């Protein structure tokens, strides 16, 4: 089993509904601090369930949501059909976005599921769609030294603060940790050292810097802000 098989199949990334809600609230608050202006046009690429999209849409001019999984796309359309500031895209409308039209693009917890060639192609896509000076947020990057134990401990700390510790411990023991350990051991996740991320971005038209705080609860991972130049 690859990470792509896990992601596109039936999986349990969240141990319960509280975990899911707190995760998206946390991510939404962190992303909101990076929005450059209240009229910014933003693309959240591979957005997942995007439970904080209404909150983010209040902070910008237009929010585009894209997820390649059909059932998630359908769920997003149903959830946000009444919000005029949110557009849910399919592959065709994603590719049809005008070049140099976006003020910000978010890649949160995306690159680890792609090959290096796929990462390169996605950064090139971002460079084409972003305006000069636009922001690419590349978040939740896994450094080579971070393993399943580190990620599991970050979840335990988050669960303790969020009031779902027992559910998290049960979930780790029963499903996620076993799958993660097996697949991480088989190098199913793509990891990046800091110089690799900076080189990936700088050779494709970006000035990049790592920011102090990673988006979300796992501070063993990394977030970079890249400016289109």
CB neighbours of residue 81 within 10 Å: 10
Instruction: Say what the pLDDT of residue 178 is.
Output: 56
Instruction: Say what the pLDDT of residue 179 is.
Output: 57
Domain ranges of the chain: 3-7+29-142+190-228
Give the pairing type, strands 102-108 and 130-141: parallel
Tokens representing 24?
């998206």
Look-up of token digits 């990470």: 3
Give the Cα separation of 154 and 29 in Å (integer): 18
Tokens representing 192?
């990046």
CB neighbours of residue 222 within 10 Å: 22
Class of domain 3-7+29-142+190-228: alpha beta
Give the Cα separation of 107 and 96 in Å (integer): 19
Look-up of token digits 């609230």: 25
Give the Cα separation of 226 and 20 in Å (integer): 28
CB 56 within 8 A of CB 28: yes
Instruction: Say what the pLDDT of residue 180 is.
Output: 55
Instruction: Say what the pLDDT of residue 14 is.
Output: 80
Residue 82, CB-side half-sphere exposure with 13 Å CA sphere: 2
Q: Running along the chain, 229 residues long, what does each successive block of 10 average in pLDDT?
A: 49 76 92 97 96 98 97 97 98 98 97 95 98 98 85 76 78 61 61 97 97 94 97
CB 68 within 8 A of CB 90: no
Instruction: Say what the pLDDT of residue 146 is.
Output: 84
User: Measuring CA to CA, which residue among 227, 193, 198, 225 is closest to residue 212?
Assistant: 225
């Amino acid at each position: 089993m690859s990470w792509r098989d896990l992601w596109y199949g039936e999986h349990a990334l969240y141990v319960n509904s509280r975990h899911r809600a707190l995760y998206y609230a946390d991510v939404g608050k962190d992303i909101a601090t990076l929005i450059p202006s209240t009229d910014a046009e933003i693309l959240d690429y591979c957005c997942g369930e995007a439970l904080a999209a209404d909150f983010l849409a209040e902070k910008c001019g237009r929010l585009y949501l894209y997820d390649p999984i059909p059932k998630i796309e359908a769920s997003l359309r149903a959830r946000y059909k009444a919000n005029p500031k949110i557009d849910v895209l399919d592959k065709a409308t994603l590719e049809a976005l005008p070049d140099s039209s976006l003020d910000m693009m978010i890649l949160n917890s995306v690159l680890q599921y792609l090959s290096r060639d796929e990462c390169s192609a996605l950064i090139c896509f971002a460079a084409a769609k972003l305006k000069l000076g636009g922001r690419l947020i590349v978040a939740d990057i896994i450094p080579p030294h971070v393993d399943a134990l580190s990620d599991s401990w970050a979840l335990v700390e988050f669960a303790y603060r969020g009031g779902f510790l027992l559910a998290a411990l049960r979930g780790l023991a029963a499903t996620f940790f076993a799958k993660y350990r097996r697949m991480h051991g088989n190098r199913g996740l793509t990891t990046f050292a800091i110089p690799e991320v900076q080189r990936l971005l700088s050779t494709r038209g970006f000035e990049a810097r790592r920011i102090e705080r990673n988006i979300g609860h796992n501070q063993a991972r990394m977030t970079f802000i890249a400016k289109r130049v």
